[in-house]
Structure 1
Amino acid sequence: MVTIISGIALLLITLAAFSLFSLKMPKGQAAMSGMANAAVATFLVEAIMSYIAGDLFGISFFKDVGSIAGGMGGVAAAALVPMGMGASPVLSMCAGVAVGGYGILPGFIAGYVVGLIGPVIEKKLPEGLDVIVGALAVASVARAIAAFVNPGVTMVLSIIGKTITEATLTSPIIMGFLLGGIIKMICTSPLSSMALTAMLGLTGLPMGIAAVACFGGSFTNGTIFKRLHFGNNGNVIAVMLEPLTQADIVTTHPIPIYGSNFFGGGIAGVGAAMLGIVNNAPGTASPIPGMLAPFAFNAPGKVVMALAIAAVGGGIAGFIGSIVFKKFDEGAKSVRI
Structure 2
Amino acid sequence: MDIVLGIGTLLVVLLAMTLFLNFAPYGKQGLQALSGAACATLLPQAFLSYALGQIFHISLLQDIGDLAGSLSGVAVGILTCLNLGISPVFAVIVGLVLKDFQLLPAFIAAYFISFALKYIERKVPEGLDLIVVILIAPTLTFLIAKLISPGVIAVLHQIGSAVTAVGNNNPYALAVVLGLIIPVTGMTPLSSMVLASLLNLTGTPMAIGAITCMGASFVNFVLFRELKIGGPSKAFAVAIEPLTQIEIIAKYPLQLYGSNAIIGVVNALIVTFSGLVLNAPGMATPIAGPIVLFGFNKPLNIVITLVIVAIVSVILSLIIGKIISRSHLSHINLKPSELKKQVN
2:218 is the alignment partner of 1:219 = yes
Partner residue, 1:30:
29
Aligned equivalents of 1:269 and 1:330: distance in 2? 27
Aligned equivalents of 2:238 and 2:103: distance in 1? 27
Q: CA RMSD in A?
A: 1.8
Residue 302 and residue 58 in structure 1: after superposition, are their counterparts in 2 closer, same or farther (change >3 A)?
same
Kindly indicate whether the alpha-carbon contact (under 8 Å) linking 1:83 and 1:92 is maintained by their aligned counterparts in 2: yes
Aligned equivalents of 1:224 and 1:34: distance in 2? 28
Instruction: Report the TM-score, using the length of structure 2 for normalisation.
Output: 0.91
CA shift for structure 1 position 234: 0.8
Instruction: Report the TM-score, using the length of structure 1 for normalisation.
Output: 0.93
> What residue ranges of structure 1 are gaps of 5+ in the alignment?
none
Partner residue, 2:86:
87
Aligned equivalents of 1:237 and 1:291: distance in 2? 18
Deviates more, 1:315-324 or 1:47-56: 315-324
Aligned equivalents of 1:178 and 1:328: distance in 2? 28
> Number of aligned pairs?
332
Kindly indicate whether the alpha-carbon contact (under 8 Å) linking 1:261 and 1:317 is maintained by their aligned counterparts in 2: no
CA shift for structure 1 position 332: 9.6
Partner residue, 1:305:
304
> What residue ranges of structure 2 are gaps of 5+ in the alignment?
333-344
Aligned equivalents of 1:87 and 1:45: distance in 2? 26
Partner residue, 2:340:
none
Aligned equivalents of 1:216 and 1:172: distance in 2? 19
From the two aligned structures, give the one with the greater helix fraction.
1
Letter of the 1:318 partner, please give it: S
Aligned equivalents of 2:313 and 2:5: distance in 1? 27
- Residue identity over aligned pairs, in percent, reads 37
1:56-80 CA-partner distances (Å, limit 9, x unpaired): 1111111111111222222221221
Aligned equivalents of 1:15 and 1:181: distance in 2? 12
2:87 is the alignment partner of 1:99 = no
Aligned equivalents of 1:288 and 1:244: distance in 2? 14
CA shift for structure 1 position 136: 3.2
Aligned equivalents of 1:47 and 1:288: distance in 2? 11
Aligned equivalents of 1:30 and 1:209: distance in 2? 28
Residue 128 and residue 245 in structure 1: after superposition, are their counterparts in 2 closer, same or farther (change >3 A)?
same
2:280 is the alignment partner of 1:284 = no
Aligned 1:1-337 pairs, distance under 5 A? 2-329=1-328
Residue 212 of structure 1 aligns to a residue whose secondary structure is helix
Kindly indicate whether the alpha-carbon contact (under 8 Å) linking 1:217 and 1:268 is maintained by their aligned counterparts in 2: no
Aligned equivalents of 2:39 and 2:331: distance in 1? 41
Residue 251 and residue 313 in structure 1: after superposition, are their counterparts in 2 closer, same or farther (change >3 A)?
same
Kindly indicate whether the alpha-carbon contact (under 8 Å) linking 1:90 and 1:135 is maintained by their aligned counterparts in 2: no
Residue 231 and residue 142 in structure 1: after superposition, are their counterparts in 2 closer, same or farther (change >3 A)?
same
CA shift for structure 1 position 331: 11
1:235-258 CA-partner distances (Å, limit 9, x unpaired): 110111111111122111100111
Letter of the 2:319 partner, please give it: I
CA shift for structure 1 position 261: 0.1
Partner residue, 2:336:
none
Letter of the 2:248 partner, please give it: I
Residue 330 and residue 203 in structure 1: after superposition, are their counterparts in 2 closer, same or farther (change >3 A)?
closer
1:281-327 CA-partner distances (Å, limit 9, x unpaired): 22221212223222222222222222112211221231222133224
CA shift for structure 1 position 330: 5.2
Aligned equivalents of 2:204 and 2:211: distance in 1? 10
Aligned equivalents of 2:267 and 2:84: distance in 1? 35
